[in-house]
Structure 1
Amino acid sequence: MTRPYAGQFVTPGRYAGKVAVVTGSAQGIGQKVAERIGAEGGAVVLVDRADLVHEVAQGIQEAAQRSGSGGSATSVNADLETFAGAQLAVDAALAAHGRVDVLVNNVGGTIWARPYEEYDEDKIEKEIRRSLFPTLWACRAVLPAMLQQGSGTIVNVSSVATRGMHRVPYAAAKGGVNALTQSLAMEVGGRGIRVVATAPGGTEAPPRKVKRGPEAESSTEKAWYQVIVDQTVESSFLKRYGTLDEQAAPIVFLGSDEASFLTGSILPVAGGDLG
């Protein structure tokens, strides 16, 4: 079942003539960002390893046709934990549109919640591979096209959990995303490319259709996860989780021409928590 985009804060035409690649866009923040860009007139390429991404893209395409927004959507399956997958996604966008104006790197997320001494080697490596490498690979894959154009914007989705409980490997990965954002911005700013990031806090979302990892089963695992929830709410000045719209809005803004003098910035979107 498809429906028009029903989110908040849409700015009609803001992405007209723009080609945007949004990774991790089968659900959650990535889906909301892709819907927003399509509703604002952009040609959006949705990337995810889950087949669900094709249904989301179809919904955006149909909504754009009904509304006359001028937007469009296509989709591609790719495993962005590999460079080959990132290159596949960028190549698909270039084949369809000939350019990439905006890349939103949204893949990532905590797989396990536990004190650091409870992580084994395999879990640590998987957390880093999930939440750092997709951004590293996608940035590298898109750079040649953006450099040839002499323009482009990369928006990385980091996290305020760089200072948080029971997810040290994830925090380390997102710290890497922050460093990548700032160092790459310095490196390519003089060549017409902006690199920025948001750092979301806790965000309310529908139950995930594709899980990041196993559900907490034991009472101990559930208690470890509850520590994250409690700390997230307590760290927020507003004492609540954000909404998907509240996360998508600054991402879409940062990718737009309205943010043309912003680069190297990491914007916390966490109700006052700076991470």
Structure 2
Amino acid sequence: MSKIWFITGSSRGLGRAFTTAALERGDKVAATARDTGTLGDLRDTYGDAVLPLALDVTDRASVDVAVKHAYEHFGHLDVVVNNAGAALFGVAVEELAEEDLRAVMETNLYGPLRVTQAVLPYLRAQGSGHIVQISSASGLVAHPTLGGYNATKWALEGMSEALAYGVKVTIVEPAQYRTDIATTPPAHFVPNPAYDGLRAAFAGAAAHAAVPVPLPEAAAPAMLKLVDAEHPPLRVVFRSQALPMIRQAYAERLATWADWEHLSQEAEGVSA
């Protein structure tokens, strides 16, 4: 049975790949972007199966109008993909400007919150639906020059884990794909020379990575299988490249908690 999707950030990157894959297999998509001119080719190719909608996830009124329009147009929403995102890379915590962090939070946390709050009444009324939150492997493991970005994705993860309300919820944690998400530098970034060596080391490691970075289209088949699953997972990692890092981080956390369990006991007045 074909599905009806609502996808934010459909103009490029992963959002474009998911939109095209859904349309190619015969699904219908409310494809959103700040500028609907970037979606014109989709309309030309797929006709009435795609509904281009102007949407700025940082504007609640824009979100409410787009969601209402999509629901009234199609009469149903099966899959909602909160894909629109912003980057804040290469900035140490000491260098973070509050204005830059707030701006990225508006897109990466408050954007999905607005869309989720707008769609939930419709999903609840129809008694079904699947919300897919596009997080990041950086939503599970932090890195020295990604503190602000980590903060936005860790917040999204926590909010999404608490979301379950009679609908399916999946947090997707992609590793790197060849998108242009990191091409715009933070507006208020003032580099501290103390972190130049760290940035250079990360840039060098990325340049010499043995694993090629795939195009966003590589993630599309996995997304289709995810939304077709009868019992989709709460979390799923896209690209096995990230799994060793995540497994190591979780193993270290469990080991640390075990090593310091005596403090947990002391903190509740129980002798070790």
TM range, normalised to the smaller chain? 0.7 to 0.9
Pairs within 5 Å for 1:22-33 = 22-33=7-18
> Displacement, 1:109?
2.6
> Displacement, 1:113?
2.7
In the alignment, structure 1 residue 270 sits paired with structure 2 residue 228: no
Alignment correspondent of 2:216: 244
Does the 8 Å contact 1:155/1:195 carry over to 2? yes
Cα displacement string for residues 135-190 of structure 1 (whole angstroms, at most 9, x for unaligned residues): 111111100000000011111110011322412121111112212222112xx1xx
> Displacement, 1:110?
0.7
Pairs within 5 Å for 1:88-127 = 88-127=65-104
Alignment correspondent of 1:200: 174
Tell me the C-alpha RMSD between the 2 structures.
3.1
**Normalising by structure 1, what TM-score?**
0.76
In the alignment, structure 1 residue 131 sits paired with structure 2 residue 108: yes
Alignment correspondent of 1:51: 36
Alignment correspondent of 1:152: 129
Across the two proteins, how many residue pairs are aligned to each other? Answer: 240
**Normalising by structure 2, what TM-score?**
0.77
- Structure having the higher Rg: 2
In terms of fraction of residues, the more helix-rich structure is 2
Identity %: 21
Secondary structure, counterpart of 2:162 in structure 1: helix
> Displacement, 1:269?
1.5
> Displacement, 1:133?
1.2
Q: Which runs of 5+ in 2 are unaligned?
A: 247-272
Does the 8 Å contact 1:110/1:167 carry over to 2? no
Secondary structure, counterpart of 1:124 in structure 2: helix
Does the 8 Å contact 1:26/1:56 carry over to 2? no
Does the 8 Å contact 1:114/1:224 carry over to 2? no
> Displacement, 1:53?
3.4
Amino acid at match of 2:242: D
Cα displacement string for residues 1-30 of structure 1 (whole angstroms, at most 9, x for unaligned residues): xxxxxxxxxxxxxxx432101110101110
Does the 8 Å contact 2:56/2:63 carry over to 1? yes
Amino acid at match of 2:101: I
Distance 1:233 1:181 in 2: 33
Change (3 A) 1:246 1:229: farther
Q: Which runs of 5+ in 1 are unaligned?
A: 1-15, 63-70
